[in-house]
Amino acid sequence: MMGSENRGFEEAHLYASREEMESLVLDDSLTGKSYSDYRSAMSTLSETHHPLSPPIIATPTDTDPLLSPPPPPYSNVSNPNSPSNSYIEPPSYGDVNFSPLDADNGVGVNSIESPIEDLEKSMVLSRSSSSSSEYLKIMVSNPQKELGASNSIVPGGNTYFTYLITTRTNLPEFGGSEFSVRRRFKDVVTLSDRLSEAYRGFFIPPRPDKSVVESQVMQKQDFVEQRRVALEKYLQRLVAHPVIKKSDELRVFLQVQGKLPLPTTTDVASRMLDGAAKLPKQLFGDSVSAIGPQDVVQPAKGGRDLLRIFKELKQSMANDWGASKPPVEEEDKEFLEKKEKLHDLEQQLNNASQQAESLVKAQQDMGETMGELGLALIKLAKFENQEALLNTQRIRAADIKNAATAAVKASRFYRELNAQTVKHLDTLHEYLGLMLAIHTAFSDRSSALLTVQTLLSELSSLHLRGEKLEAASSKIFGGDKSRVHKIEELKETIRVTEGC
Amino acid sequence: MITQQRSLSGSSQSPRSPSSQPFLSVSVTDPAKMGNGVQAYISYKVITKTNLPEYQGPEKIVIRRYSDFVWLHDRVFEKYKGIFIPPLPEKSTVEKFRFSAEFIEMRRQALDIFVNRIASHHELQQSEDLRTFLQADEQTMERARSQETGIFKKKPADLMQIFKDVQSKVSDMVLGKEKPVEESNPEYEKLKHYIFELEDHLAEAQKHAYRLVKRHRELGQSLSDFGNAVKLLGACEGNALGKAFSELGVKSEILSIKLQKEANHLLMNFEEPLKDYFRAVQSIKATIGERASAFRQQCELAETIKLKEIDLNKLRLTRSERMADVEDEYEELKADGEEATRRFETIVRLMNEEIVRFQEQKTLDMGLAFHEFAKGQARLANAIADGWRSLLPKLEACSSSQH
Which residue in B190, B204, B373 is closest to A376 by CB distance?
A: B204
- In the CATH scheme, what architecture does the domain A136-147+158-261 have? 2-Layer Sandwich (3.30)
For A353-367, A427-441, B248-262, B384-398, which range has the lowest pLDDT when averaged over its residues? A427-441
pLDDT of the residue at A198: 80
For A48-57, A278-287, B376-385, which range has the lowest pLDDT when averaged over its residues? A48-57
Q: Give the model's confidence band at B291: pLDDT under 50 very low, under 70 low, under 90 confident, else very high.
A: very high
Start-end of H helices in A256-332: 268-283, 293-296, 306-321
List, as one string, the DSSP characters of B182-241: ----HHHHHHHHHHHHHHHHHHHHHHHHHHHHHHHHHHHHHHHHHHHHHHHHHHHS-HHH
Can you list the pairs that A62-70 forms with residues at least 24 positions away whose Cβ atoms lie under 8 Å?
A64/A89, A65/A89, A66/A42, A66/A90, A66/A91, A66/A114, A66/A116, A67/A91, A67/A92, A69/A111, A69/A112, A69/A113, A69/A114, A70/A111, A70/A112, A70/A128, A70/A130, A70/A131
> Is any Cβ of chain A less than 8 angstroms from the Cβ of B212?
yes
Q: Give the model's confidence band at A229: pLDDT under 50 very low, under 70 low, under 90 confident, else very high.
A: confident
What is the bridge-based pairing of β-strands B59-65 and B41-50? antiparallel
- What is the rounded distance in angstroms from the CA atom of residue B280 to the CA atom of residue A335? 72
pLDDT of the residue at A300: 57
Most confidently modeled range among A270-279, A423-432, B223-232: B223-232
Q: Give the model's confidence band at B140: pLDDT under 50 very low, under 70 low, under 90 confident, else very high.
A: confident
Candidates A23, A53, A348: best to mutate against B (most CBs of B within 10 A) is A348
- What is the rounded distance in angstroms from the CA atom of residue A237 to the CA atom of residue A207? 10
Element (H, E) at B360: helix B323-400
pLDDT of the residue at A80: 36
Question: Measured between beta carbons, which residues in chain B are less than 8 angstroms from residue A400?
Answer: 366, 370
Decide if B229 and A393 are in contact by the 8 Å CB cutoff: no
Element (H, E) at A486: helix A481-499
Q: What's chain A's average pLDDT?
A: 65
pLDDT of the residue at A17: 34
Mean pLDDT of the region B28-42: 84
> Is any Cβ of chain A less than 8 angstroms from the Cβ of B215?
yes
Strand ranges across the sheet with A178-184: A136-147, A159-169, A178-184
Task: Answer yes or no: is pLDDT of B196 > 90.
Answer: yes
Topology (CATH level 3) of domain B186-400:
Substrate Binding Domain Of Dnak; Chain:A; Domain 2 (1.20.1270)
pLDDT of the residue at A476: 62
Which residue in A345, A356, A400 is closest to B366 by CB distance?
A: A400
pLDDT of the residue at B61: 92
Catalogue the E-assigned strands of B310-378: none
Nearest CA in chain A to B385: A52
> Is any Cβ of chain A less than 8 angstroms from the Cβ of B395?
yes
Angle at CA B328, nearest 5°, toward B326 and B331?
Answer: 110
> Is any Cβ of chain B less than 8 angstroms from the Cβ of A122?
yes
Say which amino acid occupies B375: K
Q: Give the model's confidence band at B347: pLDDT under 50 very low, under 70 low, under 90 confident, else very high.
A: very high
Higher pLDDT, B26 or A343: B26
Decide if A119 and B225 are in contact by the 8 Å CB cutoff: no
Cβ-contact A83, A89 below 8 angstroms: yes
Task: Answer yes or no: is pLDDT of B129 > 50.
Answer: yes
Q: Is the ipTM, as predicted for this complex, more than 0.90?
A: no
Task: Answer yes or no: is pLDDT of A104 > 50.
Answer: no
Say which amino acid occupies A443: S
Question: Measured between beta carbons, which residues in chain A are less than 8 angstroms from residue B362?
Answer: 396
pLDDT of the residue at A370: 93
- Cα of B38 to nearest chain A Cα, Å: 37
pLDDT of the residue at A40: 37
Higher pLDDT, A182 or B218: B218
- Cα of A388 to nearest chain B Cα, Å: 9
Which residue in A55, A362, A393 is closest to B218 by CB distance?
A: A362
pLDDT of the residue at B403: 47
Higher pLDDT, A55 or A145: A145
Task: Answer yes or no: is pLDDT of A286 > 80.
Answer: no
> Is any Cβ of chain A less than 8 angstroms from the Cβ of B306?
no
For A213-217, A234-238, A494-498, which range has the lowest pLDDT when averaged over its residues? A213-217
pLDDT of the residue at A125: 36
DSSP, collapsed to helix, strand or coil, labels residue A5 as: helix
> Is any Cβ of chain B less than 8 angstroms from the Cβ of A396?
yes
Mean pLDDT of the region A476-486: 61
Nearest CA in chain B to A23: B371
Residues B39-65: pLDDT tens digits? 778 899 999 998 888 888 889 999 999
pLDDT of the residue at A218: 64
N residues, chain B: 403
- Cα of A203 to nearest chain B Cα, Å: 19
Say which amino acid occupies B372: E
Cβ-contact A140, A235 below 8 angstroms: yes
Cβ-contact B82, B290 below 8 angstroms: yes
For A226-235, A271-280, A382-391, which range has the lowest pLDDT when averaged over its residues? A271-280
Most confidently modeled range among A14-23, A107-116, A170-179, B274-283: B274-283
Element (H, E) at A138: strand A136-147
Mean pLDDT of the region B225-248: 86
Contacts of A220 (CB under 8 A, 6+ apart): none
> Is any Cβ of chain B less than 8 angstroms from the Cβ of A55?
yes
Q: Give the model's confidence band at B353: pLDDT under 50 very low, under 70 low, under 90 confident, else very high.
A: very high
Q: What's chain B's average pLDDT?
A: 84
To the nearest whole percent, how much of chain A has pLDDT over 90? 7
Higher pLDDT, B124 or B16: B124
Q: Give the model's confidence band at A429: pLDDT under 50 very low, under 70 low, under 90 confident, else very high.
A: confident
pLDDT of the residue at B172: 58
- Cα of A6 to nearest chain B Cα, Å: 23
- What is the rounded distance in angstroms from the CA atom of residue A139 to the CA atom of residue B5? 72
Nearest CA in chain A to B252: A359
Output the CA–CA distances (angstroms, integers) from residue A479 to A15, A464, A476, B81, B134, in the order listed.
105, 19, 6, 127, 124
For A398-412, B306-320, B354-368, which range has the lowest pLDDT when averaged over its residues? B306-320
pLDDT of the residue at A288: 44
Task: Answer yes or no: is pLDDT of B69 > 80.
Answer: yes
Nearest CA in chain B to A120: B241
Task: Answer yes or no: is pLDDT of A334 > 80.
Answer: no
Task: Answer yes or no: is pLDDT of B282 > 60.
Answer: yes
- Cα of B90 to nearest chain A Cα, Å: 23
pLDDT of the residue at A353: 87
- What is the rounded distance in angstroms from the CA atom of residue A123 to the CA atom of residue A101? 7
Chain A, 180 to 239: residues with Cβ < 8 Å from chain B are none
Backbone angles phi, psi at A259, to 5 degrees: -75, 140
Question: Measured between beta carbons, which residues in chain B are less than 8 angstroms from residue A359?
Answer: 219, 222-223, 225-226
For A6-10, A432-436, B280-284, which range has the lowest pLDDT when averaged over its residues? A6-10
Question: Measured between beta carbons, which residues in chain B are less than 8 angstroms from residue A372?
Answer: 208, 211
Residues A145-165: pLDDT tens digits? 777 655 556 555 567 788 888
For A310-319, B88-97, B157-166, B267-276, which range has the lowest pLDDT when averaged over its residues? B157-166
Higher pLDDT, A462 or B193: B193
Higher pLDDT, A450 or A190: A190
Cβ-contact A384, B206 below 8 angstroms: no
- Cα of B374 to nearest chain A Cα, Å: 6
- Cβ burial, residue A231 (10 Å; 0-12/13-18/19+): buried
Question: Measured between beta carbons, which residues in chain A are less than 8 angstroms from residue B271?
Answer: none
Higher pLDDT, A384 or A269: A384
Cβ-contact A182, A260 below 8 angstroms: no
pLDDT of the residue at A275: 64
pLDDT of the residue at B161: 61
Cβ-contact A7, A412 below 8 angstroms: yes
CB environment A26-53: b (16+ within 10 A), e (fewer): eeebbeeebeeebeebbeebeeebebbe
- What is the rounded distance in angstroms from the CA atom of residue A411 to the CA atom of residue A373? 9
The CATH number of the structural domain formed by B24-145 is 3.30.1520.10
- What is the rounded distance in angstroms from the CA atom of residue B275 to the CA atom of residue B268? 10
Decide if A37 and B205 are in contact by the 8 Å CB cutoff: no
pLDDT of the residue at B117: 93
Contacts of A40 (CB under 8 A, 6+ apart): none
pLDDT of the residue at A105: 34
Higher pLDDT, A65 or A274: A274
Residue B150: CB atoms within 10 A of its CB come to: 7
Output the CA–CA distances (angstroms, integers) from residue A30 to A52, A54, A97, A156, B246, in the order listed.
7, 6, 37, 59, 28
Output the CA–CA distances (angstroms, integers) from residue B12 to A64, A392, B119, in the order listed.
63, 21, 13
> Is any Cβ of chain B less than 8 angstroms from the Cβ of A267?
no
Residue A99: CB atoms within 10 A of its CB come to: 23
pLDDT of the residue at A115: 34
Most confidently modeled range among A88-97, B223-232, B304-313: B223-232
- Cα of B277 to nearest chain A Cα, Å: 12
Domains in chain B: boundaries: 24-145, 186-400
Nearest CA in chain B to A411: B212
Q: Give the model's confidence band at A431: pLDDT under 50 very low, under 70 low, under 90 confident, else very high.
A: confident
Smallest CA-to-CA distance from A181 within A250, A245, A129 is with: A250
Nearest CA in chain A to B392: A41
Cβ-contact A59, A18 below 8 angstroms: no
Mean pLDDT of the region B340-362: 92
- What is the rounded distance in angstroms from the CA atom of residue B236 to the CA atom of residue B247? 14
Which residue in B197, B382, B396 is closest to A116 by CB distance?
A: B396
* CA A485 to chain CA centroid, nearest Å: 55
Task: Answer yes or no: is pLDDT of A113 > 50.
Answer: no
Decide if B212 and A373 are in contact by the 8 Å CB cutoff: yes
Task: Answer yes or no: is pLDDT of B222 > 60.
Answer: yes
Chain B, 148 to 207: residues with Cβ < 8 Å from chain A are 190, 194, 197-198, 201-202, 204-205, 207
Residues B74-125: pLDDT tens digits? 999 999 988 999 999 987 766 555 667 888 888 999 999 999 999 999 899 8
